[in-house]
Amino acid sequence: GHGVAWLAQFPGINVTAQREDYVELHVPADQDPEAILRTALSRGDRVTRFEIAEPSLEEIFIEHVGRRAVSDEDEHLASTRRASDR
């Protein structure tokens, strides 16, 4: 079946991208991605590809430093550019 509401049984999982035939999840370290796959298959969902990807360096940075620092840096760069445009 379509829909990802059943993922709520796995605490901490976030759907980061979803299209008609594709779902991308962020799975916390304490969750077993294969348990999610087994549950999907037992529900009768069709799984044609299952991939466990390492987070990107940007995702790791944001996770450890936080989004606030990233947006502060962007704002600093923007204000630096505005000052140099004068």
pTM beyond cutoff 0.75: no
* Residue with more model confidence, 86 or 63: 63
Dump pLDDT digits (tens) for 61-75. Answer: 776 777 665 566 566
Cα–Cα distance, 33 to 76 (Å, whole number): 38
- Give percent of the chain above pLDDT 70: 72
Q: What's residue 3's pLDDT?
A: 82
> What are the helix (H) ranges across the chain?
33-42, 57-65, 67-85
